[in-house]
């Protein structure tokens, strides 16, 4: 049975490897525009689902597709991946010295021995950043690592020095709620 990660995220790849899962990578090219009238949780689950479904539909045979999507939210404002240095600075200044939530939607779609199963969930983690000086924000952005991350930061690695506390799952903030994924994988072809 093929296990396929529908993501080019190096962090999601690293987490699946950490779990000891043998997998292939096939990215999806879906429109990630948020839809009106959906809650933030529904948005993250929907995005994970459409990524998984796009890859599932391209492959035959027994397979498990894993997809995820991470959103950073503060005061009902969604922070995606920044497209410029100015946008990254603005995001980090908004998140600076305050709490926000990170929502990671996760979806598995599987077909094993003719049994089709869709599983969709999300994990919500509260994150508090301590006060970050402007020069620290600029130094982080100058590393180039802010641009492929929702909210312009990564909890793991160098930026972690600015995370004061979290309430929830660390790996969900990294981009893959492995505790939920593990349970989903156990449900496949019981």
DSSP one-letter code for 94: H
All domains of the chain, ordered by start, with CATH? 2-187 (3.90.950.10)
- CB 121 within 8 Å of CB 108: no
- Please give the pLDDT value at position 116: 96
Which residues are paired to 104 by β-bridges?
70, 123
- Please give the pLDDT value at position 148: 87
Could you state, in chain order, the average pLDDT of each consecutive group of 10 residues for the chain (190 residues)?
94 95 94 89 96 97 96 93 94 97 97 95 98 96 92 92 97 96 90
The active-site residue, picked from 57, 69, 134, 183, is: 69
List the Cα angle 125/55/109 in 5-degree steps: 60
- Please give the pLDDT value at position 29: 87
| Phi, psi dihedrals of residue 125, rounded to the nearest 5° | -130, 135
Measure the CA–CA gap between 176 and 114, rounded to whole angstroms.
Answer: 27
148 is catalytic: no
- Please give the pLDDT value at position 157: 84
- Please give the pLDDT value at position 34: 87
């Amino acid at each position: 049975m093929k296990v396929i990660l529908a993501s080019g995220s190096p962090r999601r790849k690293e987490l699946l490897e950490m779990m000891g899962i043998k997998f292939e990578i096939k990215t999806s090219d879906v429109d990630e525009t948020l839809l009106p009238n959906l809650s933030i949780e529904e948005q993250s689950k929907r995005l994970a689902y459409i990524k998984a479904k796009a890859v599932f539909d391209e492959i035959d045979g027994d397979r498990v597709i894993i997809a995820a999507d991470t959103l950073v939210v503060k005061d009902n404002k969604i922070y995606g991946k920044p497209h410029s240095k100015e946008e990254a600075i603005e995001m980090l200044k908004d998140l600076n010295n305050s709490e926000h939530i990170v929502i990671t939607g996760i979806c598995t779609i599987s077909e094993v021995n003719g049994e089709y199963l869709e599983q969709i969930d999300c994990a919500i983690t509260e994150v508090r950043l301590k006060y970050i000086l402007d020069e620290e924000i600029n130094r982080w952005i100058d590393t180039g690592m802010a641009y492929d991350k929702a909210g312009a930061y990564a909890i793991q690695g160098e930026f972690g020095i600015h995370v004061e506390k979290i309430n929830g799952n660390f790996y969900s903030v990294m981009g893959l709620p492995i505790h939920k994924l593990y349970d989903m994988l156990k449900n496949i072809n019981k």
